[in-house]
Structure 1
Amino acid sequence: MALVKAGVVVLDCAEPEKLAEFYKGLLDARETDVTANRVEVEGAGGTRLAFRRDVNATPPSWPRPENSLQAHLDFLVEDLDEAERKVVGLGGRPLDAKGAPGPYEERGYADPAGHSFTLRRVPSTAPKQG
């Protein structure tokens, strides 16, 4: 058995309850632990995130250089347009990050508290039709 196991990614924010609602909607998640200053959720695929109250939290300014990228999350999707509609419908916003290098098509967003994340399209494993 491993001495240290991966825990949970924790995002600081002013209102953890509201941010948890965004990620619950995005990840089809359920709350697993709630305290006065922290909400933890687990997505349908097992992804665990927690949101910790920090009234002085300052979101990163990525892609602008000041206050730089502190951390970001990558989520895999099959349909970028459908996923984008869901993100925006839940209160997220697209970030200006056109032309990101890499082997996968991806788009950058910010959650309602300003944390950046990326939706990356995973190539279909289905055989080509026609």
Structure 2
Amino acid sequence: MPLVTAGVVVLDCAEPEKLAVFYKQLLQAEETEASANLVEIRAADGFRLAFRRDANATPPSWPRPENSLQVHLDFLVDDLDAAERRVVDLGGRPVEAKDASGPFEERGCSDPAGHTFTLRRTRQTGPKMG
């Protein structure tokens, strides 16, 4: 048994209930715990994400070049366009504009509270050869 196991990723925000709704719908997750200051959800694959009330929370300012990314979430998707549309429909927004045409391997987004995350295309594996 490992000495340390992964627990839960916690995002500080002013309104954890509202942010939990965004991620529950994005990840098709279920709420597993709720209190006055914390809401936790679990996705079908077991990924756990929690939202902790912080009345002084301010959103990160990334992608401005003078600021570091600090931390963000990566979500794996098969269809970047569909996933980005879903983010926008749920109240999130794209934060990286790409000028070139055609599909991209990843796209930066933020949730309604300003936390950044990346939608990353899952790698397509070809058929086994030989």
Secondary structure, counterpart of 2:55 in structure 1: coil
Q: Is the 8 A contact 1:63 1:97 kept in 2?
A: no
Q: Tell me the CA shift for residue 67 of structure 1.
A: 4.8
2:20 alignment counterpart = 20
Secondary structure, counterpart of 2:32 in structure 1: strand
1:43 alignment counterpart = 43
Q: Tell me the CA shift for residue 49 of structure 1.
A: 0.3
Q: Which runs of 5+ in 2 are unaligned?
A: none
Percent of pairs identical after alignment?
74
Structure 1 segment 74-89 matched on structure 2, within 5 A:
74-89=74-89
Structure 1 segment 1-130 matched on structure 2, within 5 A:
1-96=1-96, 98=98, 105-125=105-125, 127=127
Post-superposition Cα deviations, 1:48-82, rounded to whole Å, max 9, x if no partner, equal: 10000001011111111455322100000000011
CA distance in 1, matches of 2:97, 2:70: 16
- Choose 30-39 or 90-99, whichever is displaced more: 90-99
Runs of 4+ with deviation above 4 angstroms: none
TM-score by length of 1: 0.88
Secondary structure, counterpart of 1:20 in structure 2: helix
